[in-house]
Amino acid sequence: MGGLSWEEFERVDVRAGTVTRVEEFPEARVPAYKLWIDFGPEIGEKRSSARVTDLYRPDELVGRQVAAVVNFPPRQIGPFVSEVLTLGFYADEHTVVLVLPERRVPDGARLG
């Protein structure tokens, strides 16, 4: 397996943000939600498509902090532009468990 240098890893900008809004995403090929996530004053609010419908309801996500990669290029998913990659672990082929800060941190806090 190929190695990843420390410098390459440091280029991945993972930040904490608070979900401010969630909408169903019926146009997605795989069940997903549209998320709006506040990353604080430096980054602002960004959008993400997240395949987390198996374990989370929209009302459970609003107000919750999540981890996301904020420096990937935007990705068009159907009619929606996903600006950040919300992080999660695959529990099985379809079920995604979100990566969440264990305690509340400032929105925009960087993974370190």
**18-56 per-position pLDDT tens digit:** 999 999 999 999 999 999 999 999 999 999 999 999 999
Average pLDDT over residues 105-112: 96
Task: Tell me which residue of 41, 59, 40, 29 sits closest to 49, measured CA to CA.
Answer: 29
SS3 105: coil
Specify if 68 maps to a domain.
yes
- What's the chain's length in residues? 112
Specify if 42 maps to a domain.
yes
Specify if 90 maps to a domain.
yes
Specify if 108 maps to a domain.
no
* Tokens linked to 107: 């929105």
Range of the domain at 50: 6-98
pTM given for the model: 0.93
Amino acid at 19: V
Specify if 112 maps to a domain.
no
How high is the pLDDT of residue 112? 86
Specify if 105 maps to a domain.
no
Q: What is the CATH number of the domain that holds 85?
A: 2.40.50.140
Number of domains in the chain: 1
With contact defined as beta carbons under 8 Å apart, do 95 and 53 qualify?
no
At 81, the pLDDT band (50, 70, 90 cuts) reads very high
